[in-house]
A and B are shown apart, each in its own frame.
Chain A
Amino acid sequence: DIVMTQSPDSLAVSLGERATINCKSSQSVFYSSNNKNYLAWYQQKPGQPPMLLIYWASTRESGVPDRFSGSGSGTDFTLTISSLQAEDVALYYCQQYYSGPQTFGQGTKVEIK
């Protein structure tokens, strides 16, 4: 199984500042035949189901604000919130869908400083 490891486990950022979450996979999730990274990011607010933010490592899902961006390739990925808003307080998870079983990171909690 591919193990997904996120860092940090939690971070506190001031409103309007940048938040950066890292995700590392135990093996590459890049498929060279289509030049795609099989990596997604989700946001989960308390008491709610997860919401898809980004897939193919950097493609924003429809309706997701452009302050959310994804980057990286191979085994190292980053979710960046360029200007943290109060409504961004949540848990964030990365997921690989390169090979079964699909696996998730342990989550990163984002709070306001």
Chain B
Amino acid sequence: QVQLVESGGGVVQPGRSLRISCAASGFTYSDYSMCWLRQAPGKGLEWVATVSYGGSDTYYADTVKGRFTVSRDNSKNTMNLQMNSLRAEDTAVYYCARAHLGTLVLSPLDYWGQGTLVIVSS
């Protein structure tokens, strides 16, 4: 069965960096574009970043562009989100999710991980 498991969340000071990861299993990982989304406490869903199925194309929300970098390793079925210059407003549960339409970067998201909590606070 499809599984997505995030890791690496925690408490980090403003201006510092953190890397979170997503481990995928149960499907042919290299056939799917993958996304990061986040949800601030008590708030709605916000798309953060997408990496194409091959890893060569990446897309970012304006709120994180220039600070966050998404990457994937298809040999290890993993995806990472390197988050630099973190701000208090980046505090959220970060979810990885699979693109239902496979290789397309704009897609409904059919499988989600349980999320990893990132708290940016001094």
List, in ascending order, chain A residues with CB within 8 A of B107's CB. 97
Task: Count residues of chain B with CB under 8 A from any CB of chain A.
Answer: 20
Within 8 A of B (CB), among A19-50: 38, 40, 42, 44, 48-50
Task: Work out how many contacts link A and B, with CB atoms closer than 8 A.
Answer: 53
Interface range on chain A (Cβ under 8 Å from partner): 20 to 34
Q: Considering only CB atoms, which chain B residue lies closest to A39 in the complex?
A: B108
Q: Considering only CB atoms, which chain A residue lies closest to B107 in the complex?
A: A97
A98 to B106, CA, bound (A): 7
Select one of B59, B110, B114 contacting A100, CB under 8 A.
Answer: B59
- Is B106's CB under 8 angstroms from A93's CB? no
A21 to B51, CA, bound (A): 31
- Is A104's CB under 8 angstroms from B106's CB? no
Q: Which of B9-17, B24-32, B42-50, B77-85 contacts A (4 or more CB under 8 A)?
A: B42-50
A100 to B45, CA, bound (A): 15
- Check: A12 CB closer than 8 A to any chain B CB: no
List, in ascending order, chain A residues with CB within 8 A of B108's CB. 40, 52, 55, 95, 97
Select one of B45, B59, B62, B106 contacting A50, CB under 8 A.
Answer: B45
A38 to B47, CA, bound (A): 16
A42 to B112, CA, bound (A): 11
- Check: A106 CB closer than 8 A to any chain B CB: yes
List, in ascending order, chain A residues with CB within 8 A of B44's CB. 93, 104-107
- Is B110's CB under 8 angstroms from A52's CB? yes
- The contact string, 1 if C-beta is below 8 Å from chain A, for chain B 44-68, is 1111000000000001011000000
CB distance from B90 to the nearest CB of A (A): 17
- Is B115's CB under 8 angstroms from A49's CB? yes
Known: A38-B106, A52-B100. A101 touches B112 (CB 8 A): no
List, in ascending order, chain A residues with CB within 8 A of B45's CB. 42, 44, 50, 93, 95, 104, 107
List, in ascending order, chain A residues with CB within 8 A of B112's CB. 49-51
The residues of A with any CB-CB pair to B shorter than 8 Å are: 38, 40, 42, 44, 48-52, 55, 61, 93, 95, 97-107
Q: List 14 A-B contacts (CB under 8 A).
A: A42-B109, A49-B97, A49-B113, A50-B45, A52-B100, A55-B100, A93-B44, A95-B45, A95-B108, A97-B107, A97-B108, A98-B106, A102-B106, A106-B44
